[in-house]
Amino acid sequence: MHLKLCQRFLLVAVIALVRVSSKKQENRQPNIVIMLMDDMGWGDLGCYGNQEKETPNIDRLASQGALFTNFYSANPLCSPSRAALMTGRLPIRNGIYTNNHFGRNSVFFPNVTGGLVDEEETIAEILAKLGYRNKIIGKWHIGNTEESFPLNQGFHEFFGANANHFGPHDNVNAPNVEVYRDNKMVGRYFEREFDINLQTGESNLTRFWTNDALEFIEENQNNPFFLYWAADGTHNPLGAHGDFLGTSKRGLYGDVVRELDYGVGQIITKLKELKLHKNTFVFFSSDNGPAGYEGIESGDSGPFKCSKLTTYEGGFRVPGIAWWPSVIPKRQIERGPATLMDIFNTIMDITGGAVSNSSRHLDGQSLWPVLVDENDIKLGKNTVFYYRGDGLFAVRVGDYKAHYWTWNIQKEKLRDVYGDPCRGDYLENFITDTLRDHRRQPVIFHLGRDPRENYPLDPSTREYTRQLAIINEVRESHIASLAGDVRIPQLNVCDKCTMGWSPNGCEEIGMCRTPVDCNPSLCNWFF
Amino acid sequence: MHLKLCQRFLLVAVIALVRVSSKKQENRQPNIVIMLMDDMGWGDLGCYGNQEKETPNIDRLASQGALFTNFYSANPLCSPSRAALMTGRLPIRNGIYTNNHFGRNSVFFPNVTGGLVDEEETIAEILAKLGYRNKIIGKWHIGNTEESFPLNQGFHEFFGANANHFGPHDNVNAPNVEVYRDNKMVGRYFEREFDINLQTGESNLTRFWTNDALEFIEENQNNPFFLYWAADGTHNPLGAHGDFLGTSKRGLYGDVVRELDYGVGQIITKLKELKLHKNTFVFFSSDNGPAGYEGIESGDSGPFKCSKLTTYEGGFRVPGIAWWPSVIPKRQIERGPATLMDIFNTIMDITGGAVSNSSRHLDGQSLWPVLVDENDIKLGKNTVFYYRGDGLFAVRVGDYKAHYWTWNIQKEKLRDVYGDPCRGDYLENFITDTLRDHRRQPVIFHLGRDPRENYPLDPSTREYTRQLAIINEVRESHIASLAGDVRIPQLNVCDKCTMGWSPNGCEEIGMCRTPVDCNPSLCNWFF
């Protein structure tokens, strides 16, 4: 114990030294680059076991940096997960959820009226106060209200879309989603330069996101910057530049992964060219598990069950790679669990930033200690909360995960029409077509021995009883921590008038549409 | 095309040079080390995506050598697969199969009367003629006849067992399986020093296999040697040395993997210590997919469907790592498919050995060209034949795999009693409880896009028709090649008198049992 304590002191000293020396050396705050993929799966990357090994640049990042082997998104769907990353808080706290129905997923379709509220504080807002120049490129997707737009949430620059790129496609009954540069609309998806050819899969979007990132880094080489590179190519409908079409063994999805991997390589090369790599913290991840229900042209959840939308492991496990040469030791491997929300705390730790309201509950932990100390493989907070909308479906503590509720997705409404997030996966009484309440006897797995969630612990064993007691306590104390800290759900009300009919800038490019009257109603979330 | 041709010429020249220079430098034939694991899965190693990353030594081997990403066993069960590795020929040719029932697996339980026949030529026999000293350590498992014993199949030394280590356990109704040193029995499994404690999982076996390998290398440092290290710790019942018990996050199975990984590290260190590493070809693999039906304490088939015993991908995909510093380029990655039988041809290529009967049909191809040429990622033979006993269930050509027959295992006889090789996996009309004939309309998958075999090609598409025609042709020509080249099945007849009642050496150690009368009958293979 004494030795352990000494090690801790040593560690703190090392961290302090690293910070001082890196600051001294570079005479300025480290840059931050978050690369957040869209629906990319744990099993999509060579370094996480993809059998085609088509991601040399990301694999290199992993082999030179720290690869997390138990890394989790904050939610099985993009809007809530992205909002959690930005705020360091679970969606149930920051408001990016619905309670129209229990335990249903929801997302900022362009007709949803809500958005991240001003009272939430984002990484960008905190870094802006520290003098950072902040830019988001690609997909924002955490609100359709003005206050939730990136430029009102701490970003100085924006190139991309507030909403998703997946529809509408035809611009007939509703306007196609608008693409912005800062506060000005510069086009719409599926039109002109922002087209995604639904027949051929050809699109320039990833190339735009990549080139814009390179320019931003170049322009800000002499001041601290925060780049949030939210390239969304792996989200359906898939699009890759002509140079990449047909280059993968994995089909169009693989082509897109290859182009994103190339983009990662370009960004790293640029950092090196400008000699910024020793003063830049890079983190690579994905917003949720792969979109298994979209069929063959989607990501790979590796050895895990099911995919996006679900609280099985495949819905939550994502890649997590930290890279900072000469600061984060090479090939360091952590055994987590860690989550996207931890990136918030980690960035605070690296930059010395802090939330204005020091009593605000943050759901993450800083990963900095385990990142810089090769011998430290244990994280303090050892928990993952698997929410689906307003429902806390499962809780992981250490290596054990207890499922209190299970549900695949509504068979009639989505599975039979669209596809199955659990296709190819099966376990009786566990992968359930309807919402099932297991609170009387939660289904518990040891994720070390059984990452596939195939062998529930026997409820009659001491191991089950002991672990359930531990997890129950963590769950109850978490629920208690929500008291007074749960914002009004922002994904409850839908209204077509919210869509981008005639945003600022539409006139210049001749893309205005006549707005429709407002007629709000409760959104009907069916997945 | 012209350039391609030039590259080929250059390649041939390079290979010739490497051979000449390595021979010249070391003035002797390169050593050969095959490390063949037992029931180890594709997903058990960090380098293949295991999330616990507990195999640093094997991962290092992979990062310094060539890791095959589409590597296959020769059969979904150990005896046939091991015989295929030794002979370079499919079990249907070399006789290690049964035809008592169509499409059933069989294996050399100690009461099976057959064995590899003398007419088959093994790697060891060929290398012996070239002056190699050959040793097998661990599990042989390709016959109970005298002619099939290692010392009659080209090996000079033997430490291990002809039969499996999994039973009998109690030495009451039948003798426990005997352990040999060369031709002399030195003990029995589950007794004295060869015990596997079925309660604690403690066993010295892997340590014995490792230490013996180190001694053999030491003794043969001045002459060419062939070491076949067939450490079987990952086969149920699992056993690990006390030093490793409880060290893995994956439970006892993980402890065993860690000890084997440590053993691999010891062997590599010994080669380096003796400066043999630049003159030794090391190949690491496994005999078949993991034993999923054995429950939680078994290997991981990674992203693939089902496990051992089946012709789904999880039954056949195994790790494949080649290592030879300064000869095989670092981090070279192949996209196969390649199989265990290719190791036979590769070793012939490396050593200049050849089968005596030059018209003998070999089912593999040499991997040497792709191993030494970093730019060559395509293999000539692009086929995998997925046999189950005497049944050719599926054929892979290039990226496409066609299933002509499907079958999980007999539900009543094995699944309900023992376990399910497809636990957690499901696909309608594909993972079938009973033998299903798809020959009228084979189920075809593109394994690049769909490694999980979740999305069969639509039979009404041109892609399906085209690929089926290609695969049908390969299948027919393969079947034609069997004419006159199918040995009498060696796993048809069972007789308790065959067991190791009183083998040579039993008297010295007081372990003789009274033999029983012979009473042969057809074996009843039920899996």
Per annotation, catalytic residue among A6, A101, A141, A523: A141
- ipTM for the whole complex: 0.89
Asked whether residue B1 carries a pLDDT value surpassing 50, the answer given is no
Secondary structure string (H, E, C) spanning B126-162: HHHHCCCEEEEEEECCCECCHHHCHHHCCCCEEEEEC
CB within 8 Å of A304: residues ≥ 6 apart: A42, A43, A289, A312, A313, A314, A317, A451, A452, A453
Tokens representing A442 are 């939660």
A200-204, A490-494, B24-28, B224-228, range with the lowest pLDDT = B24-28
Query: Residue A464 and residue A474: Cα distance in Å, rounded?
Result: 15
Place of tokens 């149920």: B236
**Alpha helix segments (H runs only) across A66-174:** 78-87, 91-94, 123-129
Beta strands B400-403 and B391-397 are antiparallel
Please report which confidence band the pLDDT of residue B27 belongs to, taking 50, 70 and 90 as the band edges: low
Beta strands A133-139 and A320-323 are unpaired
- Is residue A184 classed exposed, middle or buried when 0-12, 13-18 and 19+ CB atoms within 10 A define those classes? middle
Nearest residue to B304 (alpha-carbon basis) of B527, B71, B474: B71
* A contact test, residue of B44, B51, B238, B455 with most A CBs within 10 A: B51
| Inter-chain residue contact B48 with A53, CB threshold 8 Å | no
Query: Residue A136 and residue A229: Cα distance in Å, rounded?
Result: 6
How high is the mean pLDDT of chain B?
92
The answer to whether B288 and B91 are in contact (CB under 8 A) is no
All residues of chain A having their beta carbon less than 8 Å from the beta carbon of residue B425 are 424-426
Q: Which helix (H) or strand (E) holds B356?
A: none
Largest CA distance in chain A: 71
Nearest residue to A15 (alpha-carbon basis) of A322, A370, A389, A284: A370
The nearest CA of chain A is from the CA of B4 a distance in Å of 19
Tens of pLDDT, residue by residue over B444-495, are 999 999 999 999 999 999 999 999 999 999 999 999 999 999 999 999 999 9
pLDDT at A261: 98
Nearest to B53 among A69, A301, A423 (CB): A69
Query: Residue A178 and residue B302: Cα distance in Å, rounded?
Result: 41
Query: What's CA A99's distance to the chain center, in Å?
Result: 21
Q: Which helix (H) or strand (E) holds A333?
A: strand A332-334
Q: What is the pTM of this model?
A: 0.92
Any A CB within 8 A of B510 CB: no
Tokens representing B358 are 């030059």
**Alpha helix segments (H runs only) across A159-222:** 205-219
The answer to whether B108 and B143 are in contact (CB under 8 A) is yes
Please report which confidence band the pLDDT of residue B376 belongs to, taking 50, 70 and 90 as the band edges: low
Tokens representing B7 are 């590259």
Nearest residue to A515 (alpha-carbon basis) of A164, A174, A25: A174
The DSSP bridge partners found for residue A276 are none
| Inter-chain residue contact B51 with A451, CB threshold 8 Å | yes
Q: Return the residue of B nearest to A421 by Cα.
A: B454
| Inter-chain residue contact B455 with A295, CB threshold 8 Å | yes
* Regions of chain A where pLDDT drops below 50: 1-14, 17, 20-26
Tens of pLDDT, residue by residue over A488-512, are 999 999 999 999 999 999 999 999 9
* B contact test, residue of A51, A250, A420, A461 with most B CBs within 10 A: A51
Beta strands A332-334 and A66-68 are parallel
| Inter-chain residue contact B51 with A297, CB threshold 8 Å | no
Nearest residue to B393 (alpha-carbon basis) of B401, B403, B384: B403
CB within 8 Å of B423: residues ≥ 6 apart: A427, A454, A455, B292, B293
Question: Which amino acid, A178?
Answer: E
Asked whether residue B51 carries a pLDDT value surpassing 80, the answer given is yes
Largest CA distance in chain B: 72
Any A CB within 8 A of B52 CB: yes
In angstroms, the Cα distances linking B159 to A276, A437, B125, B216, B266 are 57, 55, 18, 11, 18
pLDDT at A167: 83
The answer to whether B40 and B250 are in contact (CB under 8 A) is no
Query: Residue B143 and residue B155: Cα distance in Å, rounded?
Result: 14
Question: Which amino acid, A426?
Answer: Y
Q: Which residue has the higher pLDDT, B320 or A380?
A: B320
The answer to whether B75 and B91 are in contact (CB under 8 A) is yes
